[in-house]
Amino acid sequence: MAKQTSLLTFTGRLGDLIGYRRNDGYFIRSMPQAVRQTAATRRAARRFGEASKNGRLVRSAFAPALNIPCDGGHVNRLNKAFIAAGTNAPGALAGFRFNRHASTGTFFTVPPALSRNGILRIPAQQLPQLKGIQQLEVKVIAARVHFAGRRVTGTDTAVMYIDPRLPFEGASLPMEVPGEGTLVVTLQVRCFRDGALAGQRAYMAADIIAVTAQQPRQARPGRTYPHDTGKAGPPRIPGTCAIIQRE
């Protein structure tokens, strides 16, 4: 390791040299002639590679339907969640937040639950009264992810609008996602004030709330799905929902 003393310093690779910054100084070192990996480092590299692929697959399943900005560290956090869960235990992803600054638990103190027959039930409860918030947009995004095949085999999306100032009697949202693979369900909540989206990141959340390897269900024929633009729709009757699916 040698310190860079010239007026022009650099970081990164330059030929066979690597420049880097440490504390308040710039240093330089030569590249190693060979990199020797132990069995443990090779296993760690494989785990990281698998976690990165699985994380990218999950992000690709939900990114087109999510209407909130994810925090800048969500990619690394999702990869770490997969590493901690292991390739054979994706269910440990439940509770992952795409926006670490807010949780769906802020808006539903009694958490939703996914039944075995694929129905998401939001229990009746007293909703928190957030200052100036007049409407909650609740969006459920379900994706069937085939991790072994590296593909998303199906998606379904449901949206409902709730007035938090009125008693909430609960809701049931059937999620029909035919296909093979693990069912991953994300709940997104956005708040509206005076008909406009409340832009503060504390007022928008998207969490993975359920992960299950249940058997796929066959979709009912004859359903149509208008395009979801991600914009606020017209006022809805509290407690009603509209089933949509992205094109």
pLDDT over threshold 60, residue 23: yes
Grouping H, G, I as helix, E, B as strand and the rest as coil, residue 39 is helix
Contact (CB, 8 A) for 227 and 155: no
* 138 neighbors 157 (Cβ within 8 angstroms): no
More confident residue, 89 or 196: 196
What confidence score (pLDDT) does residue 220 get? 52
Going by pLDDT thresholds of 50, 70 and 90, the confidence category of residue 240 is very low
End-to-end CA distance of the chain: 55
pLDDT at 91 over 80: no
pLDDT at 234: 42
Written as one letter, the residue type at 208 is: I
Q: For 112, list phi and psi in degrees, rounded to 5.
A: -65, 160
Q: Comparing C-alpha atoms, which of 134, 156, 133, 130 is closest to residue 143?
A: 156
Segment among 1-10, 18-27, 163-172, 231-240 with least mean pLDDT: 231-240
Compute the distance between CA of residue 180 and CA of residue 15 in angstroms, rounded to an integer.
48
What's CA 6's distance to the chain center, in Å?
A: 46
Tokens 């009264």 correspond to 129
CA 242 – CA 163 distance, rounded (Å)? 15
Residue 68 pLDDT exceeds 50? yes
Q: What 3-state DSSP class applies to 42?
A: helix
pLDDT classification of 88: cutoffs 50, 70, 90: low
**pLDDT, averaged across the chain:** 83
pLDDT digits (tens, 9 = 90+) for 118-137: 889 999 999 999 999 999 99
Q: Under a CB-based contact definition with an 8 Å cutoff, are residues 211 and 176 in contact?
A: no
pTM of the model: 0.72
Residue 244 has what pLDDT?
40
DSSP assignment of 61-130: HHTTT--SPPPTTHHHHHHHHHHHH-TT-GGGGTT-BSSTT--GGGT-SS--EE-TTSEEEE--B-----
pLDDT score for 225: 37
- Helix residue spans in the chain (DSSP H): 39-62, 74-85
Beta-carbon contacts of residue 12 (< 8 Å; ≥ 6 apart): 18, 19
Percent of the chain with pLDDT over 70: 84
pLDDT of residue 237: 41
